[in-house]
Amino acid sequence: MKIGIDIMGGDYAPDATVAGSILAYNELPKDVRLVLIGDEEQIRAGLAKGGADPNNFDIVHTTEVISMGEHPTKAFTQKPNSSISVGFHLLKEGEISGFASNGNTGAMLVGSMFSVKAISGVMRPSITSLLPKENGGVGLILDIGMNADCKPDVLNQFAVLGSIYVEHVYGIKNPKVGLLNLGEEPEKGNLITQAAHVLMKENKDINFIGNVEGRDLYKDKADVIVCDGFTGNAILKQAETFYWMIKKRGWKDPYFDRFNYENYGGTPVLGINSTVMIGHGISNDIAVKNMLLLTKDVIEAGLSDKIKSALNND
């Protein structure tokens, strides 16, 4: 297995991405090879600084970088030798099994759609976030920003994608699916959530438990919580803010420590024909390491194939 990582992506690249790759190498099985994509001189300098043998990695030299503020589509097409563009080329050609980046999220999504493309039958690929539960488990929320506006049938399909993900990557059998709403009753919410509730209730491929409210996010009521990307992104940013406020005040609590993004590293793009991982732009070396470890788990789970099978496209 070969996993590609965009060394030039992220606010603290290349230092954090190279250091995180070294940490991941020390924990990954020896049959997993990391492919470091970026400026070779900077990569080798980072490996030397970390005391790592460059022979333990594959290095693919690139000369361009897509910065965080660039227009995603223009940058992806106009910078073919950027670390993101080259990473997707390697992924499309089958030279790597997965590609991870903390760089320009829009460019990563454009690359996902233009290079490896959506699985036939997937209306909208989605990105997710884990929700730490009070009982020690985890839940999943999707979408968290890729699709600000969603029709009812898209939300219904998100429930399928999320169920496959948590079952095969996190081992949650027959996951409970909830639709985020402003009340538990089926008739509550706007026209979109009301219509989505009807579709999800009739969907035999998911274990739908009905509507869930904001107060249920961190409880064990649901394993997969479905919402549009606008709502999901607001929830994610609020949770991150509360974590940093607690940390700033010096409060220590094992439960709230689980809200640290470093623990999770990144999220796969669900519904595309390969494994693409998107990490936080502010990722440090620990977050990069965990993103690469999760990439390996997603590849081994055969997530794309599982989704294809579920949509009867195998």
Mean pLDDT on 196-209: 96
308 has a pLDDT exceeding 70:
yes
The string of pLDDT tens digits covering residues 236-259 is: 999 989 998 998 999 989 999 999
Evaluated on CA atoms 290, 296, 301, 302, the torsion sign reads positive
Instruction: Tell me what the pLDDT averaged over the chain comes to.
Output: 93
Where do we find the tokens 């249920």?
A: 216
Peptide bond into 143 cis (omega under 30): yes
Mean pLDDT on 182-200: 94
Q: Which of 269, 273, 54, 280 is nearest to 162 (CA)?
A: 269
State the pLDDT confidence band at 310, using cuts at 50, 70 and 90: confident
Contact 7, 103 (CB under 8 A): no
Q: What are residue 215's phi and psi, to 5 degrees?
A: -70, -10
The C-alpha atoms of residue 258 and residue 17 are separated, in whole angstroms, by 22
42 has a pLDDT exceeding 70:
yes
Two domains, one topology: 2-122+271-310 and 128-257 = yes
Question: What local confidence, expressed as pLDDT, does residue 311 receive?
Answer: 82
The pTM is what? 0.89
Contact 8, 274 (CB under 8 A): no
The string of pLDDT tens digits covering residues 161-187 is: 999 999 998 999 999 999 999 999 988
State the pLDDT confidence band at 294, using cuts at 50, 70 and 90: very high
Peptide bond into 186 cis (omega under 30): no
Question: What local confidence, expressed as pLDDT, does residue 263 receive?
Answer: 86
Mean pLDDT on 184-206: 94
The C-alpha atoms of residue 62 and residue 229 are separated, in whole angstroms, by 33
The string of pLDDT tens digits covering residues 270-287 is: 999 999 999 988 899 999
313 has a pLDDT exceeding 80:
no
The string of pLDDT tens digits covering residues 148-158 is: 899 999 999 99
List strand residue ranges (DSSP E) for the chain, in order. 2-6, 33-38, 58-61, 98-101, 128-132, 138-142, 176-180, 207-212, 224-226, 266-268, 275-279
Mean pLDDT on 88-107: 94
What CATH number was assigned to the domain covering residues 2-122+271-310? Answer: 3.40.718.10
State the pLDDT confidence band at 314, using cuts at 50, 70 and 90: very low
The C-alpha atoms of residue 194 and residue 248 are separated, in whole angstroms, by 40
Specify the CATH superfamily of domain 128-257. Answer: Isopropylmalate Dehydrogenase (3.40.718.10)
For the chain, the domains span 2-122+271-310, 128-257
